[in-house]
């Protein structure tokens, strides 16, 4: 064939900063579009990731499971699969993957060893060959061979074959044959692939094809003189087919392709953090998309056409999908393009909020004036600040009950909160986090802990008891002789009384403690030097020194303890004054204990313990990063411990698998390290941890960031960066991010710290990471709305599940598909062997799982959801370490769906709703 679709996603997604959830969704969205528009022949068989800046193990595992139909370029007997095509065992998908960007040292080694094509074993949990993926590294990234670029953007000479003095056929053919022979030395079969095109090419396709036609004709004409080179137009699938026919065994890779460097001082590790505000907005948008899709599925068609207007989840779905692009969530786009991505997401939120309102009214039986306070992240919500009474509806998208801290801006002194059963809920009023929004009075925050059932909502009523801010009793007592601390049922956190820094964390449940020092630093961004002119930019991280500079100019800050008491027989609150000095202040009440730290005028942090929660929350606020001194700055939060880590640390792959990293080391070649900091940075999508033989310190993130362990016992995360020079990789402007006020972007985020034993750590970080990713969502209303249907009682609490899912099972997808059908994805969220209980197989009764509808029939699908699992087949490759036999697809029993560690299973369910419409 001469034309085929490759990849097939809504975009060519990034592989470092993209989370596996939206990565699967964007792939499925694009493939569904192709199948709808072009039929079966539009289904891609090859993954095509030729521009992302490094390649992840989890994305490779997804590509292996997405699904491809039987295909044979040559005739095969009717009723049989072509030779080498085997029915899939567990949703096996693409026949192979082609990538363009591989570290320059890695590529040089592979060319020498003829390992430019390999078998990537992309999971240590799924049985081979489930996640095995044939992977080919293209010879010139995605460009043509040197001298053979014939686009209007290029300057290479065209093929002149007329009878004239300019005839250059012999020289061009000879040069091409020499390049082909040189390339063939790095590949194992007598077939090689060349890409003919590049960025922004084919606006004038005739130039390309006219010259390629001539090249093909004249190269093949040389065969008459003994040449053994034959050139033809081809496709990735046809090339892959020929490699398979060679019947070779292929070297096996089990790690990933991070970090990527295209030169000695050119590590593409800055984009792991670039545009941190947009990275968070993308993560929040996917969170809300899942809630929107779930409620659309639970309420049925009334969600799309209800009393609040037409709701539409596709606007946000497409915006989140395109945000996965390798120049979107990465932060490597121009500023006006980043603004447009954000605009598209905002339009999607508006459409989904109508849908959510329709669905909540239908499910609760009450037509409330639902209010979505989109500025809660900066403590702005007119309803809660002004109203004497309002309701809080908290929706939980997880398959298990969640206890979630609520923080709402208020201006009253005290409030009463009641749960769905009318029982009082402990609450406090405390000072809001600094800095406050510009031109606004200091607001207070109402705090309470809300319990929400699985896949459902709880409604809480809030009533103001008295006006005015809480009276201030700043019982400020200098504490210099003993450590200052905060504590809840599970943890004690100690602070150095002289410096105010975090000093130690104690896990009270396990009777373990660990000295932990935390501070903020900045790397001075390189503008180029004698070794290399490379500057730090949107893509590339290059500090001009391996030693970062502390953000705080003072090592010694005075510390004051501020205790907050209650009153009136109910948990109340007394506030603390606004702290403008660089000294920490301590806040303690029944629900939360906080230490407010100010490291500089542009960097602050709240260290927080919530009642009943087994983690330490560090909420940091950074910016505007000052650059008037002419220095670009890359801000990190660093943790230093006494753990003996032997150069090792661990990062997640797209929020799912965990990979071991070793400082100054690569598993598949002998690394020559030229950048001791940037060359050890890896993408951290959801978590990073260090451990010794006994204890593990895990830090969970609320967005993708770059992270590392630069010396033993330490780990660090880059939270923000502001740069004054372009890194010459295509953006064409510095990553300066001025923000709305043109003064520079202020970014706020959270790190959650877990201290546990090595054997128990996964039980905590797996569930908590999923809670961060699929967080409950707050909808507000004045209350007292009319009934949705005449005589329908209002429902203040609702769960769409008959019972909670087991903790190791996650409902990854619940969304409407075609009329009367829903798409379901269930996943096992533990890896094999990482937890005694969590890593066990689990069986779920799909037919009796949901209470909102009745499932009448189920069909198991590929991960991409565009093909039945029974229809999937793909090429089976032979690993050099020995063959792995695919398992037959078991017959589906929807009452007993078993999931093995790291397995995702996808179903199309035909449903009947209990309430008509």
Confidence of residue 435 (pLDDT cuts 50, 70, 90): low
Residue 914 confidence (pLDDT): 79
Residue 584 above 70 pLDDT? no
Confidence of residue 567 (pLDDT cuts 50, 70, 90): very low
Residue 69 confidence (pLDDT): 59
Residue 582 above 60 pLDDT? no
Which are the contacts of 842, defined by CB distance < 8 A and separation ≥ 6?
Answer: 806, 808, 809, 828, 898, 899
Any idea what the Cα angle at residue 703 is, between residues 698 and 708, rounded to 5°?
50
- For the segment 593-612, the average pLDDT, to the nearest whole number, is 92
Identify any residues that bridge with 370 across adjacent strands, giving them in sequence order: none
For residue 752, CA distances in Å to 122, 286, 456, 637 come to: 28, 20, 25, 12
Q: What's the token pair of residue 857?
A: 């029939």
What distance in Å separates the CA atoms of residue 161 and residue 286, rounded to the nearest whole number? Answer: 55
- For the segment 36-52, the average pLDDT, to the nearest whole number, is 93
Confidence of residue 576 (pLDDT cuts 50, 70, 90): very low
What distance in Å separates the CA atoms of residue 368 and residue 786, rounded to the nearest whole number? Answer: 7
Torsion from C-alpha of 589, 593, 597, 601, nearest 10 degrees: -60
Residue 873 above 60 pLDDT? yes
Q: Provide the 3-class DSSP secondary structure of residue 352.
A: helix
For tokens 């993209």, the residue is 18
Average pLDDT taken over every residue of the chain: 90
Where b means 16+ CB within 10 Å and e means fewer, 360-375 reads bbbbbbbbbebbbbee
Residue 753 above 70 pLDDT? yes
Residue 570 above 80 pLDDT? no
**From the CB of residue 457, how many other CB atoms can be counted at a distance below 10 Å?**
24
Residue 434 confidence (pLDDT): 53
What's phi and psi for 334, nearest 5 deg?
Answer: -65, 160
**What are 605-614's pLDDT values in tens digits?**
999 999 999 9
Q: What's the token pair of residue 719?
A: 């939270």
Residue 654 above 80 pLDDT? yes
Residue 436 above 90 pLDDT? no
Q: Do the beta carbons of residue 611 and residue 746 sit within 8 Å?
A: no
- For the segment 493-521, the average pLDDT, to the nearest whole number, is 95
Residue 884 confidence (pLDDT): 85
**What are 416-429's pLDDT values in tens digits?**
999 999 999 999 99
Structure-model confidence comparison of residues 127 and 561, the more confident one: 127
Residue 889 above 90 pLDDT? no
- For the segment 589-601, the average pLDDT, to the nearest whole number, is 86
**What are 253-302's pLDDT values in tens digits?**
999 999 999 999 999 999 999 999 999 999 999 999 999 999 999 999 99
- For the segment 669-673, the average pLDDT, to the nearest whole number, is 97
For residue 329, CA distances in Å to 275, 324, 337, 817 come to: 8, 6, 11, 26
Structure-model confidence comparison of residues 103 and 891, the more confident one: 103
**From the CB of residue 246, how many other CB atoms can be counted at a distance below 10 Å?**
10
Residue 377 confidence (pLDDT): 85
Residue 585 confidence (pLDDT): 58
- For the segment 895-902, the average pLDDT, to the nearest whole number, is 96
Q: Provide the 3-class DSSP secondary structure of residue 22.
A: helix
Q: Do the beta carbons of residue 507 and residue 610 sit within 8 Å?
A: no
Identify any residues that bridge with 49 across adjacent strands, giving them in sequence order: 99
**What are 679-708's pLDDT values in tens digits?**
999 999 999 999 999 999 999 999 999 999
Residue 520 confidence (pLDDT): 96
- For the segment 658-686, the average pLDDT, to the nearest whole number, is 97
Express as a percent the part of the chain with pLDDT over 90.
Answer: 81
Q: Which residues are catalytic?
A: 51
Ranked by mean pLDDT, the top range of 349-363, 435-449, 466-480 is 349-363
Residue 438 confidence (pLDDT): 54
* Strands 687-691, 389-396: pairing kind: unpaired
Confidence of residue 590 (pLDDT cuts 50, 70, 90): confident
Where b means 16+ CB within 10 Å and e means fewer, 805-819 reads bbbbbbbbbbbbbee
* Strands 117-121, 252-253: pairing kind: parallel
**From the CB of residue 388, how many other CB atoms can be counted at a distance below 10 Å?**
12
**What are 64-117's pLDDT values in tens digits?**
988 665 554 443 333 323 334 433 333 438 999 999 999 999 999 999 999 999
**What are 615-627's pLDDT values in tens digits?**
999 999 999 999 9
- For the segment 134-142, the average pLDDT, to the nearest whole number, is 97
Residue 477 above 50 pLDDT? no
**What are 204-242's pLDDT values in tens digits?**
999 999 999 999 999 999 999 999 999 999 999 999 999
pTM, rounded to two decimals: 0.93
Residue 560 above 70 pLDDT? no
Residue 888 confidence (pLDDT): 79
Residue 478 confidence (pLDDT): 35
Residue 581 confidence (pLDDT): 37
Residue 481 confidence (pLDDT): 35
Per DSSP (E only), the strands in 439-558 are: 444-452, 456-467, 476-478, 484-487, 491-495, 502-507, 512-524, 549-550
Residue 75 confidence (pLDDT): 37
Where is 348: in which H helix or E strand?
Answer: helix 335-364
């Amino acid at each position: 064939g001469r034309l085929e679709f490759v990849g097939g996603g809504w975009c060519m997604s990034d592989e470092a900063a993209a989370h596996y959830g939206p990565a699967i969704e964007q792939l499925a969205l694009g493939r569904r579009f192709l199948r709808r528009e072009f039929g079966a022949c539009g289904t891609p068989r090859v993954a095509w990731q030729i521009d992302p800046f490094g390649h992840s193990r989890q994305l490779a595992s997804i590509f292996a499971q997405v699904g491809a139909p039987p295909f044979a370029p040559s005739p095969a007997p009717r009723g049989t699969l072509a030779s080498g095509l085997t029915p899939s065992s567990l949703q096996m998908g693409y026949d192979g993957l082609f990538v363009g960007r591989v570290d320059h040292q890695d590529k040089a080694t592979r060319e020498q060893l003829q390992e430019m094509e390999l078998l990537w074993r992309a999971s240590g949990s799924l049985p081979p060959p489930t996640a095995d993926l044939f992977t080919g590294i293209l010879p010139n990234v995605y460009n043509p061979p040197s001298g053979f670029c014939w686009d209007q953007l290029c300057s290479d000479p065209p093929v002149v074959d007329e009878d004239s003095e300019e005839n250059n056929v012999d020289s061009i053919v000879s040069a091409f044959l020499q390049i082909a022979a040189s390339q063939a030395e790095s590949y194992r079969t007598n077939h090689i692939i060349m890409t003919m095109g590049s960025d922004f090419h084919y606006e004038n396709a005739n130039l390309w094809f006219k010259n390629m036609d001539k090249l093909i004709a004249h190269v093949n004409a040389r065969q008459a003189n003994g040449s053994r080179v034959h050139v033809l137009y081809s496709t990735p699938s046809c090339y892959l087919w020929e490699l398979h026919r060679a019947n070779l065994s292929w070297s096996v890779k089990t790690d990933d392709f991070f970090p990527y460097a295209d030169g000695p001082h050119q590590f593409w590790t800055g984009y792991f953090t670039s545009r941190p505000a947009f990275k968070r907005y993308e993560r929040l948008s996917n969170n809300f998309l899942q809630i929107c899709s779930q409620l659309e599925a639970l309420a049925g068609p009334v969600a799309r056409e209800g009393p609040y207007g037409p709701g539409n989840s596709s606007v946000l779905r497409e915006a989140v999908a395109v945000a996965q692009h390798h120049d979107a969530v990465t932060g490597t786009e121009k500023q006006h393009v980043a603004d447009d991505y954000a605009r598209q997401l905002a339009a999607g939120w508006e459409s989904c909020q109508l849908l959510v309102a329709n669905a909540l009214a239908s499910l609760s039986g009450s037509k409330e004036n639902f209010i979505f306070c989109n500025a809660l992240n900066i403590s702005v919500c007119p309803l809660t600040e002004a109203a004497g009474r309002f309701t809080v509806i908290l929706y939980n998208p997880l398959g298990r009950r969640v206890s979630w801290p609520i923080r709402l801006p208020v201006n009253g002194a005290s409030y009463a909160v009641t749960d769905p059963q009318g029982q009082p809920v402990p609450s406090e009023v405390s000072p809001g986090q600094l800095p406050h929004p510009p031109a606004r009075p200091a607001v207070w925050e109402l705090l309470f802990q809300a319990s929400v059932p699985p896949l459902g909502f709880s409604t809480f009523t809030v009533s103001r008891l008295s006006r005015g801010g809480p009276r201030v009793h700043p019982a400020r007592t200098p504490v210099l002789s003993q450590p200052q601390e905060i504590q809840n049922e599970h943890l004690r956190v100690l602070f150095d009384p002289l410096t105010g820094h975090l000093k130690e964390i104690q896990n009270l449940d396990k009777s373990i403690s660990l000295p932990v020092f935390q501070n903020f630093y900045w790397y001075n961004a390189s503008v180029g030097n004698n070794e290399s002119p490379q500057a730090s930019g949107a893509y590339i991280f290059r500090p001009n020194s391996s030693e970062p500079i502390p953000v705080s100019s003072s090592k010694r800050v005075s510390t004051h303890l501020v205790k907050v008491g209650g009153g009136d027989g109910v948990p109340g609150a007394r506030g603390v004054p606004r702290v403008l000095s660089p000294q920490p202040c301590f806040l303690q009440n029944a629900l939360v204990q906080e230490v407010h730290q100010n490291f500089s005028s542009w960097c602050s942090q709240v260290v927080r313990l919530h009642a009943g929660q087994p983690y330490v929350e560090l909420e940091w606020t950074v910016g505007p990063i000052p650059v008037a001194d002419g220095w670009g700055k890359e801000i990190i939060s660093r943790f230093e411990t006494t753990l003996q880590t032997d150069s090792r640390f661990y990062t997640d792959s797209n929020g799912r698998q965990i990979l071991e990293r070793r400082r100054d080391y690569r598993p598949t070649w002998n690394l020559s390290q030229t950048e001791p900091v940037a060359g050890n940075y890896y993408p951290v999508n959801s978590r990073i941890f260090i451990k010794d033989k006994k204890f593990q310190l895990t830090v969970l993130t609320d967005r993708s960031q770059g992270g590392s362990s630069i010396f033993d016992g330490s780990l660090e995360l880059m939270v923000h960066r502001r740069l004054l020079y372009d890194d010459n990789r295509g953006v064409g402007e510095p990553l300066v991010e001025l923000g709305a006020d043109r003064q520079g972007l202020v970014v706020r985020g959270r790190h959650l710290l877990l201290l546990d034993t090595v054997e128990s750590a996964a039980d905590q970080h797996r569930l908590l990471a999923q809670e961060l990713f699929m967080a409950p969502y707050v909808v507000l209303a004045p209350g007292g709305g009319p009934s949705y249907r005449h005589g329908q009682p209002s429902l203040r609490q609702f769960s769409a599940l008959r019972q909670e899912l087991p903790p190791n099972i996650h409902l990854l997808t619940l969304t409407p598909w075609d009329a009367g059908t829903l798409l379901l994805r269930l996943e096992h969220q533990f890896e094999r062997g990482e937890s005694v209980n969590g890593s066990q197989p689990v069986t779920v009764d799909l037919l009796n799982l949901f209470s909102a509808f009745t499932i009448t029939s189920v069909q198991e699908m590929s991960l991409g959801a565009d093909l039945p699992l029974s229809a999937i087949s793909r090429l089976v490759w032979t690993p050099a370490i020995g063959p792995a036999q695919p398992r037959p697809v078991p017959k589906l029993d929807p009452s007993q769906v078993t999931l093995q560690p790291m397995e995702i299973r996808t179903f199309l369910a035909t449903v009947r709703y209990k309430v008509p419409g």
